A and B are shown apart, each in its own frame.
Chain A
Amino acid sequence: MRVLFYTLKQSFIQFGRNLNMSIISIFAITCMMLILSLFFIMALNINVAAETVKGEYDSIELFLLDDTTKKEAKAMIDDMKQQDGVSDAYYKSKKQALAEFKERWGDNGYLLDSLKDNPLPNSVVIMIGDLEKADALAKHAESYEGVEDIKYYKSTVDKLLKATHFMQIAAMIIMVFLIIVSIIVVSNTIKLTVFNRADEISIMKYVGATNWFIRGPFLVEGIIIGVLSAAIALLITGVVYQKIVELIGDQVYSMLSMPMVETEYLLSTYGWIFGALGVAIGCLGSLVSLRRFLDV
Chain B
Amino acid sequence: MIVFDNVTKRYKSNVALENVSIKINKGDFVFLVGPSGAGKSTFIKLILKEIQADKGTVTVRDINVTKLRPRGVPKLRRNIGIVFQDFRLLPKKTVYENVAFAMEIIHQPRKLIKKNVPQVLTMMGIADKADKYPDELSAGEQQRVAIARAIVNKPRILIADEPTGNLDPNTAWEIMQLLNEINQRGTTIVMVTHAKDIVDKMGKRVIAIENGHIVRDEFGMYGYQEALAAGNESMFGTRPVNKVHTVRRIFRRGGGRK
Contacts and interface: CB of A to CB of B under 8 A. Distances in A.
Contact of B74 (A6, A199, A208): A208
A210 B74 contact: yes
A207 B153 contact: yes
A166 interface: no
Contact of A213 (B76, B105, B149): B105
A207 B106 contact: yes
B191 interface: no
Contact of A206 (B70, B75, B82): B82
Nearest to A296: B70
A82 interface: no
Nearest to B82: A206
B197 interface: no
A200 B98 CA distance: 10
Contacts of B77: 205-208
Contact of A203 (B74, B88, B107): B88
Contacts of A211: 70-71, 74
A3 B106 CA distance: 10
* B-side interface mostly: helix
Of B74, B78, B90, B149, the most chain A CB neighbours within 10 A belong to B74
A156 to B, nearest CB: 59
A287 to B, nearest CB: 15
A204 B153 CA distance: 13
A3 B107 contact: yes
B189 interface: no
Nearest to B110: A2
Contacts of B76: 208
Of B75, B78, B106, the most chain A CB neighbours within 10 A belong to B106
* Chain B contact patch, size range: 20 to 34
Nearest to A213: B105
B104 interface: yes
A5 B48 CA distance: 29
B33 interface: no
Contact of A209 (B48, B70, B74, B90): B74
A207 B99 CA distance: 11
B153 A200 contact: no
Given A208-B75, A208-B76, A6 B104 contact: yes
A69 interface: no
A20 interface: no
A199 B88 contact: yes
A213 B101 CA distance: 13
A96 interface: no
A205 B73 CA distance: 9
Interface in B144-158: 149, 153
Contacts of B74: 208-211
Interface of A: 2-3, 6, 199-200, 202-211, 213
Query: A-B pairs with the 6 shortest C-beta distances?
Result: A208-B78, A208-B77, A209-B105, A208-B74, A207-B102, A210-B74
Given A6-B104, A207-B149, 7 more contacts: A203-B102, A207-B101, A208-B106, A210-B71, A211-B70, A211-B71, A211-B74
